[in-house]
């Protein structure tokens, strides 16, 4: 009789399928933090940067994730667009896109910043990578017209591409010396803690919206 060999073959197939499913589930959810010095962790020690602390906070809440740091200090939206393809590897499931602060500080025309971010969001959409767009706000000393044009970039593009939006990456930290480095621009370790605490619910919602996210 051939019952036993067929049973054994069937059992092996089932075990192989289960093993493949288990292996797939074992893969962590891959996030890339793509931005400038605020993402890179300028002036901070090992483990004190935004991506490290976001990863730790998500894992503490039961999420099996990795958060890669693709921040480059001094980067503008033009620089980000130029390096996007190789900075965000295949297999990435969510990008936290944080750029524009250096454009604003250098007085770059908001239309240029908008165009660059638009192209980045388009490229990520083509690759079917989810995005959480982290907004920035213009300094008041740049004038009301500049401020209005710059601040509108982020909600406008989030709506156009139907991506998650966190309105202001430095929410609660900007203008608070106790949470900033001596330069008055970058967060210190305490500032990063607050940034992660405030953005965490938005990141969790973005993860849950991705197929396979949890």
Q: Out of 37, 75, 77, 151, which one is annotated catalytic?
A: 37
Tokens 């396979």 found at: 212
Joined together, the tokens standing for residue 173 give 């930290």
Joined together, the tokens standing for residue 75 give 């980067």
Q: Out of 63, 75, 103, 186, which one is annotated catalytic?
A: 186
Determine whether 183 is an active site residue: yes
Joined together, the tokens standing for residue 17 give 């399928």
Helix H or strand E segment including 68 = strand 65-71
Please tell me the distance from the alpha carbon of residue 86 to that of residue 114, in angstroms, as a whole number.
21
Q: Contact, 97 vs 119, CB < 8 A?
A: no
The DSSP 8-state label assigned to residue 140 in this structure reads: G
Beta-bridge partners for 132: 96, 164
Close Cβ partners of 150 (under 8 Å, ≥ 6 residues apart) = 100, 104, 110, 113, 136, 137, 138, 142
Helix H or strand E segment including 96 = strand 94-98
Please tell me the distance from the alpha carbon of residue 140 to that of residue 187, in angstroms, as a whole number.
20
Determine whether 63 is an active site residue: no
Helix H or strand E segment including 65 = strand 65-71
Q: Out of 23, 162, 183, 214, which one is annotated catalytic?
A: 183
**Residues designated as active site:** 37, 183, 186
């Amino acid at each position: 009789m051939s019952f036993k060999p067929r049973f054994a073959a069937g059992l092996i197939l089932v075990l192989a399928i289960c093993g493949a499913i288990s292996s797939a589930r074992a893969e962590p959810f891959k996030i890339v933090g793509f931005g400038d010095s605020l993402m890179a962790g300028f002036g901070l020690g090992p483990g004190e940067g935004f991506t490290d602390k976001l990863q730790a906070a998500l894992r503490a809440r039961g999420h099996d994730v990795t958060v890669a740091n693709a921040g480059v200090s001094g980067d503008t939206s033009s620089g980000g667009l130029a390096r996007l393809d190789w900075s965000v590897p295949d297999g990435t499931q969510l990008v936290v896109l944080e750029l524009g602060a250096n454009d604003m500080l250098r007085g770059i025309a908001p239309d240029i910043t908008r165009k660059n971010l638009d192209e980045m969001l388009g490229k990520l959409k083509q690759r079917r990578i989810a995005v959480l767009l982290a907004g920035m706000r213009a300094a008041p000393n740049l004038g009301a017209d500049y401020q209005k044009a710059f601040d509108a970039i982020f909600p406008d593009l989030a709506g156009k591409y139907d991506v998650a939006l966190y309105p202001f990456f430095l929410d609660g930290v900007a203008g608070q010396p106790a949470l900033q480095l001596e330069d008055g621009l970058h967060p210190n370790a305490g500032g990063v803690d607050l940034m992660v605490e405030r953005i965490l619910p938005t990141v969790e919602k973005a993860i849950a919206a991705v197929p396979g996210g949890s």
